[in-house]
C-alpha cells in the first residue's frame, strides 16, 4: 500500500502544479474545482488503461506522449504568460479554460500514468482499488494546490498568472527533455 500511495503522489504532482497555475490565472474557482476532478479521473483512467494494455500500450505511447504533453502545456502556458500582462475584464475573470483545453491538460498531465499503470498488477492491491486511490490522491492534491495558489495569487494578480504560464511551459519542457534524454 505504501508503494501505491507513493506512486499516486508522484503521478499527481504535475496535475497539482497545473491546478495551482489555473488558480492563479483568470480561471474561475468553479472551473478550477472541476479541473481538479477531471485531472483525477484522467489520472486514474490512464493508469487503468496502462494496467489493461500493459507493455504494448506503453511502448506505443512512448514514441509520442512527451511531444503531446509538451505541446499542450506550452500552448496553454504561453497563453497564460502572455495573457497575464493584460486585464480584459475589470469586473472579474472570464472563463478562459475551454473544454478542449481542459481535456488537453488532463491528457498532458496523465500520460505518465499510462506507463506507470503497467506496474499496477505488480504492486499488490487490486488494480481497481489502485486506480481509485490514484484518482482520489490526484484530485485531493490538485485541489489543495489550487486552494493555496488561489490565496497567494490575490496578492500578486497578473504577475502570478504570467509566472503560472511559465511554470506550465517548464513542466512541458521537463517532460520533453526527460523523455528525449531517456531519463524516464
Query: pLDDT digits over 110-165, tens only?
Result: 888 887 888 788 777 899 999 999 999 999 999 999 999 888 776 666 676 777 77
Helix axes 127-180, 99-117, angle to 10 degrees: 100
Residues contacting residue 54 through CB under 8 Å, at least 6 positions apart: 118
Do 15 and 39 contact (CB within 8 A), yes or no? yes
pLDDT of residue 136: 98
Query: pLDDT digits over 65-108, tens only?
Result: 778 778 777 877 787 777 644 444 444 445 467 888 899 889 88
Residues contacting residue 24 through CB under 8 Å, at least 6 positions apart: 149, 150, 152, 153, 156, 160, 161, 163, 164
Share above pLDDT 90 across residues of the chain, in percent, rounded to a whole number: 26
Q: What band does 179 get if pLDDT is binned at 50, 70 and 90? A: confident
What domain count does the chain have?
A: 1
**DSSP conformational letter for 121:** G
**DSSP result, 2-64:** HHHHHHHHHHHHHHHHHHHHHHHTT--HHHHHHHHHHHHHHHHHHHHHHHHHHHHHHHHHHTT
Kindly report the backbone phi and psi dihedral angles of residue 69, in degrees, each rounded to the nearest multiple of 5, phi listed first. -60, -45
* Boundaries of domain holding 176: 2-180
Amino acid at each position: 500500500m505504501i508503494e501505491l500511495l507513493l506512486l499516486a503522489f508522484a503521478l499527481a504532482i504535475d496535475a497539482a502544479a497545473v491546478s495551482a497555475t489555473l488558480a492563479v490565472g483568470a480561471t474561475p474557482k468553479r472551473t478550477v474545482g472541476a479541473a481538479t476532478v477531471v485531472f483525477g479521473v484522467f489520472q486514474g483512467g490512464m493508469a487503468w488503461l496502462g494496467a489493461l494494455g500493459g507493455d504494448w500500450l506503453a511502448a506505443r505511447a512512448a514514441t509520442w506522449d512527451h511531444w503531446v504533453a509538451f505541446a499542450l502545456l506550452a500552448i496553454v502556458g504561453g497563453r497564460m504568460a502572455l495573457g497575464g500582462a493584460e486585464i480584459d475584464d475589470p469586473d472579474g475573470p472570464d472563463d478562459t479554460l475551454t473544454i478542449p483545453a481542459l481535456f488537453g491538460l488532463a491528457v498532458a498531465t496523465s500520460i505518465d500514468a499510462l506507463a506507470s499503470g503497467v506496474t499496477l498488477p505488480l504492486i499488490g492491491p487490486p488494480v481497481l482499488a489502485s486506480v481509485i486511490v490514484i484518482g482520489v490522491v490526484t484530485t485531493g492534491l490538485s485541489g489543495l494546490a489550487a486552494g493555496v495558489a488561489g490565496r497567494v495569487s490575490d496578492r500578486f494578480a497578473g504577475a502570478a498568472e504570467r509566472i503560472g504560464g511559465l511554470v506550465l511551459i517548464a513542466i512541458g519542457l521537463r517532460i520533453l527533455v526527460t523523455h528525449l534524454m531517456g531519463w524516464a
